Every structure is written in structure tokens, then in C-alpha cells.
Amino acid sequence: FQLQQPQDTVSVTAGETITLTCTVSGDSRPGPVKWLKGWGSENQTIYEQIGSFPRVTRVTSGSNTDFSIQIRDAQPEDAGTYYCVKFRRVPGHDDEVFQRGKGTVVSLQDTALGPGMVAAAVVLCFLLLLGLFFALCMYQRKRRGGADSQCLPGPAAMGSSLSIPLRCCAGTPDTPSEDLDAETSHLPSKQSSKEDNNIHYADLQPLPTAPWHGRSPRTACSEYASVKVAAK
């Protein structure tokens, strides 16, 4: 009679299934084959043919030569050394050990990421990328808005009087100004009414060009404005 327990060690992750292999061959005296955890007075019966073991099942049910077992949903307390043992019956006494395997050491690794944890990690990464994309869009929009505002002079934007010097040459319908004609020769002509004694045009100094660092085309700043005030 030979009993073979080939596995030296088995390493699993918590929640997985532990498979322990044990086979027998040859003739033997009547008696059960059991799986024990530990050896000596503190051993624990993990499986035998009589009794209920909810997490333990035979790999090959009803076999007389293959006594391999599976332990479902491995837990940290399942770590230890397991022995496959052949007993023989002794009339009037408890069963005696006839032969035992060399023992298999079972160890549990750290819990791996389950499907739920993997899905949560993927969703979290997606949300982080979405947040970064939104922040980048807002930053670029803010930069474009700041570049457009550079076309407005500071004092005028704040509602105060224009501090840029003006070159103004104007004339009334009765006394036309040659300088006004020279300055406005490139602009569309506008016929003035004889009753209109207002200054109707002023040529502003060109605004200083601010440096541009954006990617989009810069908005052109106007160098001229129409100012209508009462003539003294």
C-alpha cells in the first residue's frame, strides 16, 4: 500500500480555492482516509467521508484511489500544514494511523484587487482625467479672455477720462480746416449740415502694442475713434 501526497507547498489568495492532492494504491486494511490540519494532540479534522464539511469537497467523488480535496473561499485561518492520513480499524479500539503523507504547507498571499475594486479604480481614473481636461479648458478660455482685454486702454475701461494725448484738428462748415482735411483724407467723407457746429472727428494716437503669448490670432485694436462734442 502506498499513499502519495506530492505537494510540498500551496500558495493562494484569500477567497480562492485550495486544492490538496492525495492518492493511494495497493491493498490495505479496512479503514478511512482523512485530511488533518496539524499533527499531534492539537490536530483538526478537515475532511472525512462521514460528517459535514461545508467548504470542503472531494475532487473525485466516490473514488477509492483519489482522495484529493478542495477548500473553497480560503481564509487566513486556513493557513497551516495539511496531512492526508490512512487509518485502519481495530476492533474495540479507535482507528489507528496506518500511513500518512509528508504534509502540504498552505499559505495565503495578500488580498488581490477584485473585479469590484478594479472597476472602481477605472472609474476614479476616468473622473480624474475628466477633471484635468475641464481645468485645462477653463485655463485656456481665461487666457483668451485676458488677451482680448489688452485692446482696451486702462483708464477708459475704468470709466475715467482718457489720458492719451489727442491730436485734434477740426473746423466748422464756415471755416474748413486744411489740417482736418489732410488728417481725414483716408476716411469716408461725411457731409456736414450748416446748422452743425460740432467737432465730429478726433484722431487718437496709436495705442502701444502689448506683447502676445497666445495661440489664437490677436484681435486688432482700433487706432481711431469718433468723438462728438460741442464746439466752443
Q: How many residues does the chain have?
A: 232
CATH code of 38's domain: 2.60.40.10
pLDDT category of residue 77 using cuts at 50, 70 and 90 = very high
CB 115 within 8 A of CB 19: no
Which DSSP helix (H) or strand (E) runs through 170? none
Domain that holds residue 24: 2-104
State the amino acid at position 141 in one-letter form.
R
Strands (E), the chain: 2-4, 9-13, 18-20, 23-25, 33-37, 44-47, 56-58, 69-71, 80-88, 96-100, 104-109, 166-167, 198-199, 203-204, 229-230
Asked, for residue 40, whether it belongs to a domain, the answer is yes
pLDDT category of residue 34 using cuts at 50, 70 and 90 = very high
Residue 196 has pLDDT above 60, yes or no: no
CA distance 195 to 219: 39
Asked, for residue 155, whether it belongs to a domain, the answer is no
CB 109 within 8 A of CB 81: no
pTM: 0.49
Asked, for residue 175, whether it belongs to a domain, the answer is no
Query: Tell me: the pLDDT tens digits for 139-167?
Result: 888 888 766 555 555 444 444 444 445 44
Q: In DSSP terms, which residues pair with 109 in a beta bridge?
A: 13
Asked, for residue 88, whether it belongs to a domain, the answer is yes
Asked, for residue 196, whether it belongs to a domain, the answer is no
Query: Tell me: the pLDDT tens digits for 87-132?
Result: 998 888 888 899 999 999 999 987 655 566 778 888 888 888 888 8
Asked, for residue 206, whether it belongs to a domain, the answer is no
Locate 209 and state its grid cell. Answer: 502694442
Asked, for residue 10, whether it belongs to a domain, the answer is yes
Tally of domains in the chain: 1
Would you call 3 helix, strand, or coil by DSSP? strand
Asked, for residue 209, whether it belongs to a domain, the answer is no
